[in-house]
Structure 1
């Protein structure tokens, strides 16, 4: 899968996937290269027992300014350790580096501007400027010094290999390797200024990942979405139906295809909505992390690398509000289609005829409040769930599947809290069309009338349908998004630096 390509050293986004697990297309190491790789393995194997153990790996990571957290060590060992014994033997090491040899050579050649077989500080500065990274000659020299084992003031491909072999597989693309090198050089000096630097193309990758994740998840739960909308709005005119009754009525109207009525509008709306939510949220949290780094640098006082729940809540609210402002008219059309519209064009015509163009924003305040609150609470509760997971699993960061489950659980809690706003939003959107007379003057009037006529419990009637739709939908969104983020190496080393609650000096449970 390709993505928008900003300034990059990569030939393709999928550099790290060009080699298959069975070894197809892997590079064949020459005898000299294999000898060099074996020398690297031997230099890492401090006790000479033929296996790389956790303490030995941590020592090498410390020398190269790379993270030593449980999450990082877990990912490094996992990519090498074929037999699952918690250590890396020579054959496991060789098999993995053979798979990645083409990437190592390609990245090195892009940095070796004069094709001399070595990288010096000037060449490194030129390569970094291609990535819109303004670094001084001193910065480049620090990177050279970090990898320069034989102290000849330049980097050979063998010295470069030692660094790359200790990166997680998700970062094995030329651009990500270079950003990791810059990050590690700062880190080993205790500067940490570029903790939050990510390649310029990554905001666009986040947009694409969010859009794809949203469309996949919503397509899978479209029938529940239509049942949920029908249930909410039918209560408004006294024609209340059970969830089963809603499903039966929808099916009688048009068979199985009727369960997906309005789904095209949902897909058109969800792709930008989810993309905007994730992109805005990640951008704001990036800025917050960057601010922490600047404060630490200016004051000399160590700052927490964890954002507070209130900061996550604020970022989530902003993400929800931004997405709603952009996509609300599509949400209005989707709701009209779900309750009986014949076509999107006809729904648009009916809304404009009845209310003018402002009709596309009927119930906007309720929708904005619902989206802002639900996104804020959703992101904050999701981050809380991640923290709990790390505490229960010795600091190991959850994978995409676990993150999806955590997000689904958080979504159920949030959905229960914002259900009244959802009901008001739906009823405000459809009033004025045939069968749904205008009854409400505002969101507050709608809420008051619902409580007065139907009781406060009516806000949660049919909530099981909502939960059946929302939990798997949000879980799928988060799973697909995190899978793409992991696959593309988005956030680089920052996700190991900023999100790990454990001290880098602590040992993982398998040590």
Structure 2
């Protein structure tokens, strides 16, 4: 028996909720638990994605007794239908009561997800029941009522290129939100969730990050540093806690940088596009790069302090404030912007390649697999994000190494104060081209744990803030 037969009315009444509840409550104890909901939906021929049944019961179970009584059940359905109705209306651009493939294509394009007409039709076919190549409200409701994590709005959020996956670098294109999200508290809660995820992720991978900086600055052909040898050296000099040197300022700079980048991105998009027109992919890239440059300019002194604190010897600085005072007193204000040029130049290859690879992977997945569902799933999302970010890092790494060397120059005894061009020449002359990739091994080693930690923490934080679907 299909859901539409039980759920016959366009706006279901209390009676139809009761009918559905009675069919699902097979043991007649006045509650529907996970097993009953799963069995009931299967018997009615309603497909649901893995984990959806548990999610429905968990989100609707207000008294935490492991099941939904009728009040909880009907409240969940009413609230979920309201969300589905809002989503349906936002996708129905011409207000004809039906969603077609061009409207799906347009909705995805609004968030920078450019897909072909054929791919939009594949997404539509996964919802369309009667083969009309359009989706009306009844089809929409029937498909998504018991699939809380697969509505089109979530698919759109999944597929937009997001900076949620934190790998410790600050060069990614900023997060982007729909107009509807900007008028609610969704955007700032999402930014908080992202910043929290970044803070935990960076703290978890701080030892590898310190090793990367240590190798970038000190490793050479004549001074080969292995991972084991480097860690042993750092622990011997400052104890186990020394592996987290520089992490405090690295975490502290996330919040201001995220906020500045987001606000600047919105402004640059307005300047680059005509009023009322859709923002194109190349305009997003330019706006994102400019926003990244603006945020980096504002917080760059903290980048310099992070490098100095990461490389410090025991007793050299008592903390962030002491580090700032000593740099200012000995080297002047200019020292806080050493390595600024290679850092800003690094944004362009990183963001450009990151975006291009992500778009290619995303479109390849949609073209090949978006037949029965357009929901990519966690592994695909993590895979696309990890690979695209890694490719971006690979392209910008030489500039990152030069930046770190320039930031560290004054703190190294007997070190020359070289310009970017002279430093690059010196590295290539002494160590060859691959000298520009010193420290890339620990950098790559931290990508997968960083992405995994940031994703898990992000999801938990979203739930805590009440924005998880």
* Alignment pair present for 1:323 and 2:295: yes
Give CA deviations for 1:251-309 in whole Å, capped at 9, x if unaligned.
1012211111111111112344356557766x589979x989x458xxxxxxxxx964x
**What is the rounded CA distance, in whole Å, between the counterparts of 2:361 and 2:263 in structure 1?**
21
- 8 A contact 2:197–2:455 mirrored in 1: yes
Please say if residues 332 and 361 of structure 1, whose CA atoms lie closer than 8 Å, have aligned partners that are also in contact: yes
In structure 2, the gaps of 5 or more residues are 1-11, 23-41, 56-66, 87-91, 98-137, 154-176
| Residue 466 of structure 1, CA deviation | 1.3
Instruction: Describe the shift of the 1:277–1:378 C-alpha distance in structure 2 as closer, same or farther (beyond 3 A).
Output: farther
**Which residue number in structure 1 is paired with residue 358 of structure 2?**
382
State which of 54, 74, 81 in structure 2 corresponds to 1:101. Answer: 74
Distance 2:351 2:69 in 1: 41
Hey, what's the Cα distance between the residues in 1 that align with 2:463 and 2:283? 24
* TM-aligned CA distance change 1:315 to 1:474, over 3 Å: farther
**Contact 2:268–2:290 (8 Å) recurs in 1:** no
Alignment of 1:112-511 (within 5 A): 166=145, 169=148, 196-198=179-181, 199-235=183-219, 239-274=223-258, 294-295=276-277, 308=281, 310=282, 313-340=285-312, 341-343=316-318, 344-394=320-370, 395-435=373-413, 437-440=415-418, 442-478=419-455, 480-481=457-458
Measured in 1, the distance between the counterparts of 2:291 and 2:349 equals 10
1:468 offset after TM fit, Å?
0.8
Rounded to whole Å, the distance in 1 between the matches of 2:255 and 2:220 is 30
Residue 469 to residue 107, structure 1, CA distance change in 2 (3 Å):
closer
Q: Using the TM superposition, give the Cα deviation of residue 381 of structure 1 relative to its aligned residue in structure 2, in angstroms.
A: 2.4
Instruction: Tell me: CA distance 1:393–1:485, structure 2 relative to 1, closer, same or farther (3 Å).
Output: farther
1:367 is displaced (CA, Å) by 1.4
Q: Distance in 2 between matches of 1:279 and 1:398?
A: 29
Question: How many Å separate the matches in 2 of 1:291 and 1:487?
Answer: 38
Give the direction of change, closer, same or farther, for the CA distance of 1:461–1:277 in structure 2 (3 Å limit).
same
The equivalent of 1:60 in structure 2 is none
- Aligned-residue Cα RMSD (Å) equals 4.9
1:170–1:489 contact (8 Å) kept in structure 2? no
Task: Give the Å deviation of 1:235.
Answer: 3.8
| Residues in 2 aligned to 1:387 and 1:334: alpha-carbon distance in whole angstroms | 38
CA distance in 1 between partners of 2:192 and 2:356 (Å): 23
1:326-345 Cα distance to aligned partner (Å, 9 max, x none): 32111111100111143323
Q: Structure 1 residues 391 and 96 mapped into 2: Cα distance closer, same or farther (>3 Å)?
A: farther
Q: Taking structure 1 as reference, are residues 467 and 339 closer, same or farther at Cα in structure 2, changes over 3 Å only?
A: same
TM-aligned CA deviation for residue 423 of structure 1 = 0.8
Length-normalised TM-score, structure 1? 0.56
Contact conserved, 1:217 with 1:474, CA < 8 A, in 2?
A: yes
1:79 aligns with 2:52: yes
Q: Is 2:269–2:284's contact at 8 Å kept on the other side of the alignment?
A: no
Q: How does 1:44-83 map to 2 (within 5 A)?
A: 51-53=44-46, 79-80=52-53
- C-alpha displacement at 1:222, in angstroms? 0.4
Distance 1:106 1:243, change over 3 A: closer
> Structure 1: which 5+ runs fail to align?
1-31, 43-48, 55-73, 83-93, 110-127, 129-138, 145-158, 177-193, 297-305, 493-511
| TM-score when normalising by structure 2 | 0.60
Q: Give how far 1:357 is off.
A: 1.8
The verdict on how the C-alpha distance between 1:377 and 1:315 changes in structure 2, with shifts beyond 3 A counting, is farther
